[in-house]
Amino acid sequence: MSDECCTKNQDVMILACSGASNLGQLANQAAVELTREGFGKMFCVAAIGAHLPTFVEAAKKSEGLITVDGCAVGCARKILEHADVPLQAYVVLYDLGIEKNSNTNLIPSEVEKVKAAVKDSLKGRMTTVSVHAGKSRSCCG
């Protein structure tokens, strides 16, 4: 199944946590790599949190927005909620079975696991995806 089945990759906006744990750094690294690979573009979640109008409006208008949080605290999700930006697709790395710690030496296989979860969540682009529950509705079949 193509990664492009429900959205054009260049239209994907990736909002990633970049917190001070391995999970925050994994979320950020996955977003960096996906952007470099041409699967979407990173977008500044801090600018949305600062309520910078052009950033907030761009996020509200995005038709392919994926929010990636490291842990259950959900900082990126809460930033979007506070700015009234609708949550479209959502991945929490802790729900992928990756334990939170303070080691920022990232494991490449974990980065790949996060990238795959981001791509999978976008198959049901307009639906919030709970990776933990393993359930997502998809327009791709």
Tens digits of residue pLDDT in 72-123: 999 999 999 999 999 999 999 999 999 999 999 999 999 999 999 999 998 7
H or E segment at 68? strand 65-69
Nearest to 27 by CA among 123, 91, 77: 91
Sketch the domain layout of the chain as residue ranges.
Answer: 9-122
The fold for domain 9-122 equals Rossmann fold (3.40.50)
Q: CB of 4 within 8 A of CB of 38? A: no
Nearest to 122 by CA among 46, 33, 14: 14
Tens digits of residue pLDDT in 12-27: 999 999 999 999 999 9
Tens digits of residue pLDDT in 24-44: 999 999 999 999 999 999 999
